[in-house]
Amino acid sequence: MYRKSSKPLISAQEINERLDTLGKDVAAFGCDIVITVLSGGFIFSADICKRIATPKLQLAFIRASSYGSGTESSGSLKITGLENMDIRGKKVLVIDDILDTGNTMFGIKQALADEACGPMYTYRRYNQAFYD
């Protein structure tokens, strides 16, 4: 059985410092559009976007799933939300929540490349225990 810690594992100050660092990295990249993978990437994306906001920065949201209604991947990735998005030649930042097998992010990157986006940068909030 798991026991809940009485203290946070990472302090709010440490989280904010890391977000500030990530924000500086993204700002140096100079992205044109932030694409957030819903719904897990939403809060992390908001925290990053607050740090890199510019008048020309575009925000967009997609859904990507290979799980369907189950808990195991079906092996078939379904991406929705790219249909009306013009990313040709734009610098794209993709933000997701968890990287487990990497198949979802690989599929998203391939779909964006097929749409002829410019340079692409990806962030995820967590790595699953077995993967880097």
| Residues marked as catalytic | 100
- C-alpha distance across the termini of the chain, in Å: 27
CA–CA gap between residue 25 and residue 19 (Å, rounded): 10
Residue 67 in contact with residue 91, Cβ under 8 Å?
no
Q: Which of 79, 69, 129, 70 is nearest to 103 (CA)?
A: 79
CA–CA gap between residue 26 and residue 22 (Å, rounded): 6
- Structure-derived torsion over alpha carbons of residues 30, 32, 38, 39, reported in degrees to the nearest 10: 50
